[in-house]
Amino acid sequence: ALVTGDRALARRVSVELLRFGVVADDSGGTPLINTPAAGLLRLALQAAFRPGDPVALLSLLKHPLLGLGLERTSVRHAAEIVELVV
């Protein structure tokens, strides 16, 4: 892992890593609130604080990071069933 505030250094390291077939996940400059994980947390909180709200529940179930210990296709299938019921 490389943590640096120097964007030029981060780009140079990413280019060097590509020479070895390693694709660096450069999230520099992305506010934490805009990350997929933060989006999942927001949806989980909405579902928790709006019990019975089908939009909040379905939004959470359809988030790509939600796993519930299952295969992603199983979670997606469950979301589709819930969508048909509500």
Are residue 18 and residue 39 in the same domain, yes or no?
Answer: no
CA–CA distance, 14 with 24 (Å, rounded to integer): 6
Residues 43 and 82 in one domain: yes
Q: Does 7 lie in the same domain as 21? A: yes
Owning domain of residue 49: 31-86
- Say whether pTM exceeds 0.75: no
* pLDDT in the model for residue 54: 93
Clarify whether residues 44 and 4 are in a common domain.
no
Tens-of-pLDDT digits for all 86 residues of the chain?
Answer: 788 888 899 899 999 999 999 998 877 777 888 889 999 999 999 999 999 999 999 999 999 999 999 999 999 999 999 999 88
Per-residue H/E/C for 26-50: CCCCCCHHHCHHHHHHHHHHHHHHC
Tell me how many domains the chain contains.
2
Taking Cα atoms as reference points, which of 8, 39, 53 lies closest to residue 26?
8
Pair (59, 72) in one structural domain = yes
State whether 86 and 67 are in the same domain: yes
20 and 41 co-located in one domain: no
Tell me if 13 sits within 8 A of 24, measured CB to CB.
yes
